[in-house]
Amino acid sequence: MRAGFGLLAVPLLVSCGGSSELSAPPPTASATASVTPTQRASAPAATPSGAVSPRPTAPTATPRQDDLARLVVRSATFTRPSSRDWDRQRVGPFDVERFVSKLSGTPQEDRQLLARTGFVRGYVSIRMSSDDRRLVVYLYRFRSHEGAVTLQNRFWGQYEHGDTFTVPGISRTWTDSGLTKKSSPTRFTAGANVNFVVGNVLAQVTVTESSQTIDGLRPHTRLATAISNLQHDLLKAAG
């Protein structure tokens, strides 16, 4: 069992100040490149709450050949890449080998999971805000909708989870928020995490902030919700 919130060992809040993500209108398919975006392991939360023509009426059965990097939501809050070596070594596209060597906390188990679920490829984006908050977005593409849902379930079961929250507008979302503490040196992290499937793509959106003190630190679930809705709309528009 992996401890902590979030799926994968990526350092994962945000202050409750105003953000354009919280009031931005849903993106259109033509605006993909310039969108301005937002209980435990044994009992997952049951909130699990260009364009293509013609639009599909059912989940896509085979992977489309679009670039997953273009499908990562753009944020007006998180505008710069991370300067941390750990992050720079891990952002970008990944296949099975890169995932198990760079991104997985349980490589042998995850290698088998990816093979069984028909994983095709993925992409991870890590962006920072001006005050060092962090947005991590993972996109995993599979050969089928069923494969994406299966991996969502299995990855979620690898962790203990904190509090859940509701994401209006997206069906079957799994959410997680809370505070974690690390020692040597002491550091607290507040995070809000949303997981959902669109067609044959599994998306994970995590917003975090870290501090040496716990004062005023809390998960910004509203921002994670807003960005997740924008990410969902982009994936849905892409077909």
Query: Using one digit for the tens of pLDDT, what is the confidence trace for 214-237?
Result: 998 999 999 999 999 999 999 999
pLDDT tens by residue, 156-202: 888 788 899 999 999 889 999 999 998 878 889 999 999 999 999 99
Cα separation, 199 vs 118, whole angstroms: 14
Average pLDDT for residues 67-72, to the nearest whole number? 94
The strand pairing partners of 140, in sequence order, are 122, 202
> Is the torsion defined by CA of 42, 139, 217, 82 positive or negative?
positive
Residue 67: per-residue pLDDT: 87
The reported pLDDT for the residue numbered 21 is: 67
- A 10 A CB-CB count for 225 gives 24
Tens digit of each residue's pLDDT (9 = 90 or more) over 82-94:
998 888 999 999 9
Element (H, E) at 75: none
Asked if residues 190 and 206 have their Cβ atoms less than 8 Å apart, the reply is no
Bigger pLDDT: 77 vs 53: 77
- State the number of CA atoms in the 13 A half-sphere of 126 facing the CB: 20
Report the candidate in 59, 79, 54, 200 with the shortest Cα–Cα distance to residue 135: 79
Would you call 230 helix, strand, or coil by DSSP?
helix
- Residue 184 confidence (pLDDT): 72
**Which has the minimum average pLDDT: 2-16, 129-143, 203-217?**
2-16
The listed range with the strongest mean pLDDT (5-9, 33-37, 97-101) is: 97-101
pTM: 0.74
pLDDT at 61: 37
Kindly report the average pLDDT of the chain as a whole number: 79
Burial 190-218 (b: 16+ CB within 10 A, else e): bbbbbbbbbbbbbbbbbbbbbeeeeeebb
> H or E segment at 108?
helix 107-117
Rounded mean pLDDT, 33-45: 37
Residue 2's Cα: distance from chain center in Å?
17
